[in-house]
Amino acid sequence: MLLILSSSLVWAQQANQVTWTLALENYKTTDMVPFDSPVQSFNGEQYRLVINPAAACFCYVVYESPDGNDVSVLYAGPLKQGEPWYSAVLELTPPRGSESLYIITCREEQKVLAQRIAAFKANAGAAQRRALMNEVFRIRSDASRFQGAPDKPVLMGGASRGNNDKNIGVQYSGSEIYVKTISIEH
């Protein structure tokens, strides 16, 4: 049903830009998986999302199943500087398809998105699910006009475990809001 990632956020205070690293970690092997294109995976694989901000920020993590009928809000709210957030271990399960994680990081709370999430949590019906995903897609579309392409690989910091030589992430730099979509095909 779900997947997990490992990421570390680093916020730059220069010209209102956000800079952060993100890495997809296979939970069992702790290997980092490149995600510049859809990740090829198998049922039963497990992943984990770890977010470690270098400055206080807001973060939203939304999962969507291959058929779009299963949506989950994995996290929505503020993150404190230097306090990592760890998702539960997520395992890929049938049906086969492309599962998506939408990771939104921003300096300020996204009020409309927060309202859509509250409505969805109160009643996870089709209308609320579609309204939530439409807001995620709107934010992604608006943010994509201002985002830079991934930069060079960088070593991850505080969220790494085990052999640090395997913990490589990708550095991003953009405006006050950044949206990353990670697709995993299985």
Mean pLDDT, rounded, for 140-166: 51
**pLDDT cut 70: percent of the chain above it:** 66
What pTM, to 2 d.p., does this model score?
0.76
CATH classification (class only), 6-109+148-185:
mainly beta
pLDDT at 4: 39
Does 26 score more than 60 pLDDT?
Answer: yes
82-128 confidence digits (pLDDT tens): 787 778 888 888 778 888 889 898 889 999 999 999 999 999 999 99
Distance CA 158, CA 73 (A): 24
Residue 116 dihedral angles phi and psi, to the nearest 5°:
-65, -40
Distance CA 113, CA 133 (A): 9
Using DSSP, state whether 139 is helix, strand or coil. Answer: helix
Distance CA 184, CA 88 (A): 17
pLDDT at 174: 56
Does 149 score more than 90 pLDDT?
Answer: no
CA distance to 123, 132, 168, per residue, from 118 (Å): 9, 9, 35
pLDDT higher at 140 or 38: 140
Does 146 score more than 70 pLDDT?
Answer: no
28-41 confidence digits (pLDDT tens): 887 766 666 667 77
pLDDT at 63: 93
45-76 confidence digits (pLDDT tens): 888 777 777 777 899 999 998 888 899 999 99
Positive/negative CA dihedral, 141, 145, 146, 149: positive
Distance CA 178, CA 105 (A): 5
